[in-house]
Chains A and B, each alone.
Chain A
Amino acid sequence: MNYSNRYAINLTNLRLKFPGEDSLIFKDLSFSVQPGEKVLMLGPSGCGKSTLLQVLSGIVPNSIELPMKADEINLPDSWGFVFQDPDTQFCMSYVDEELAFVLENLNIPRSDMAPLIEEALKRVDLHLENLHTPILELSQGMKQRLALASVLLLEPVVLFLDEPSALLDPEGTKQIWSSIKQATADKTVIIVEHKIDLIADWVDRVVLFNDHGMILADDSPSTIFKHYQEELKRYGIWYPSVWDEYKESESFKSMMHEREQVSSFEKILLNDFHGFRGTAPKIFAKKAVAKTGDWIAITGENGSGKSTLLLTLMQLLRTEGIYKVNGERVIQKKRKKQLPKGLSLVFQNPELQFVTNSIAEELTVSLHKMSKPQAVNYAADLMQLFNLPNSGTRHPYQLSTGQKRRLSVATALTPQTDILLLDEPTFGQDARNTFAILEKLEQLRVQGITILMVTHDMEIVKNFATSVWTVADGVLYTNNEMVGGVFECLHGSHLDEKHGYSK
């Protein structure tokens, strides 16, 4: 038997570094995969897992040039790669064109293309009435399945998946993994992913990396999840029982002990409230109230109007109807829309909110009313509260994803802020960062800040929110009017008994 046939992939003593950095990412790393194996690579963010995936596929150094060398390197002849971001995998505008692009690259005659395209979509369970559908109209989960379909057209022996569900909501995550399992039964699959509860028992082998890009453990999933829980927790991996363990932890219990409503003062009141994009009505609320110290989770399907609701509360869109903040009616002027006092909004992409060149400046730039030393002190407090690098001189873009997200929340907190609007603040974050952000928000809530937060994560809704608003087809439903759905899953939880919601 030929040596290269025994392994699907084989790599000995890989050395690799990023240009401009002193230390190597990998130092003498050896790694091999059997044909047909399903391998999951876990490790802290920044440990080089994604880079390794790119080396194993040949993207490094063929497409991305990095200085590297290896004693021996046997890479697969045919492979496919699904990336993390659903919006940056396609170069064409329509579903059929994108799949055809792959076939064009393979030099397949035009007459054979149509049946192959249809078959590829069937393999990933993507059923479209019209193949000439704009990719823009697909949900994020559907886009990832399209990415998988286009990769399957390459008839790959090995499939590389680089966090394919990191940017998907729970529904999309379910869809992409079921498609992957269905379509890749006979293939070698190598996965990097943090959200692993749907695949933990599907993979044959788990490889655990440490902070220095070294393999800490390489074993069956059951062994790894049993013996390396401490590392998994430290690296922020969403392993299957992470929420259960967190709920048992001292920090969570002490936080939730005697959790009480801060006050019954009505911070926000909506009555027959409409929000518009241009002239089109996009969101309607019959009646909704948020009180001091409420933590309201806003849930609903993609595109139902959750983010629009936040924009209307912030008065960035045209609104009609009664909207009171702190008991005062917000009147929208036609020409110059004024932002209501006390509200602040944190958008999903932190980078689009940064306006200065350092963390410290970022935290002081909105403090117009404070004297300079006061502002500096205030910023120092925030940096400590949010675990940001305390020199404060780093450029916001140089922070890690978790730090960026925490900084973006911190920037929203001026001394005047007492209502915080957040658009999926934990989205795409690892477990450690998610719990860190949630704990900070709980601290703020106890101090009397009202939190309105869009989220898809039912665990957050169950364990942190004090009430739930649901948006469906542009209509806002609050706790009391809701039948079934989210509220039912809340029903009977400890929060319910404590606060007696909706009774």
Chain B
Amino acid sequence: MLAWFTPRRETWLFKVNPALKFIIFFAFLLITLFNQNLSFAVWQAVLYGILFYGFSGYSMKKLALLSIPLAISFFSSALTIVLFGKGESVLWQWGLIKISEESIQHALLLGSKSLSFGFVGFTFLLTIQPILFFYAMMQQFRLPSKYAYSFIASFRLIPAVTEELQIRRNALKVRNIQFSRGLKGMYERLQMYTVPLFAESIRRAQRIAVAMEAKQYQMGAARTYYYPTRYSLMDGVFLTVMAIGLGVTLMLAFWR
């Protein structure tokens, strides 16, 4: 599963400081979120698309696969607004369904926004190593180490929890537990799975926390870092590229 997430080649985006990348991407997504201009939104989606398809370093096959959920989110968010959105200049109407120029515009705006979020999110996730991201957040942005290490430790627990889920599924089959149909069955299932898995996970988390303190981890104490992260020339390149990208998209959208 994790092997799937090895890129074909490591592009320049991999060399950017992951914490800086996170902050910049986050800021750009804020712009996307609050923007109400259709043409700017479309050009922004194009910009992020270029980053995603051009510089994530993954093979086209994998990128195409990842595009499926993006396409689904684009169409599902756009379609509802196209068909049921408000608007004056009606193009086509049939019962409740009313397609107007405004609804199409709104739909495209929303669709491009959801595409942008998808592109940026995937580009970020595909081009960082989680552990380096947390180390960089601690070193460059003073994230308290307790948050960073709790995230890192929880990554470690994922395989154990999935394995336990599998065992629980088999155990319930062996015990010949039959669930009711419908909603009640869902509730029964939820209860059957969550109680033992939570009990085990809470105990495990508690033990790991004690073990960490036994290794003299102290909240807020000065510490050194096994993975030193710093700013490099690539961060300058990244900032320049993003600034130029923003300039060009603004120009394409508003230049008359």
Contacts and interface: CB of A to CB of B under 8 A. Distances in A.
Nearest to A64: B210
A80 B155 CA distance: 25
A227 interface: no
Given A83-B207, A366-B175, A154 B216 contact: yes
A104 B131 CA distance: 15
Contacts, number: 132
Interface stretch (A3-11, A280-288, A342-350, A458-466): A342-350
B88 interface: no
Interface string B147-166: 00100110110011000100
Contacts of B171: 347, 352-353
A150 B207 contact: no
A59 B213 contact: yes
B179 to A, nearest CB: 11
Interface residues of B, number: 43
B215 interface: yes
A109 B228 CA distance: 10
A37 B152 CA distance: 37
A101 B226 contact: yes
A101 B172 contact: no
A106 B218 CA distance: 10
A314 B218 CA distance: 48
Interface in A54-70: 57, 59, 62-64
Interface stretch (A20-28, A84-92, A381-389): A84-92
Majority secondary structure of chain B interface residues (helix, strand, loop or mixed): helix
A151 B174 CA distance: 41
Contact of B225 (A85, A106, A110): A110
Interface in B153-200: 153, 155-156, 159-160, 164, 167-168, 170-177, 192, 196, 199-200
Contact of B199 (A88, A355, A365, A397): A397
A325 to B, nearest CB: 15
A142 B108 CA distance: 56
Give the interface size bracket for A toward B. Answer: 35 or more
A155 to B, nearest CB: 11
B167 A63 contact: no
Contact of B167 (A83, A154, A349): A349
Contacts of A351: 196, 199-200
A314 B170 CA distance: 10
Nearest to B217: A105
Given A352-B164, A352-B171, A150 B215 contact: yes
B204 interface: yes
B211 A89 contact: yes
A323 interface: no
Given A64-B210, A88-B208, A345-B174, A107 B224 contact: yes
Contacts of B196: 351-352, 354
Given A110-B224, A351-B200, A355-B177, A311 B170 contact: yes
Interface of B: 131, 149, 152-153, 155-156, 159-160, 164, 167-168, 170-177, 192, 196, 199-200, 204, 207-218, 221-226, 228
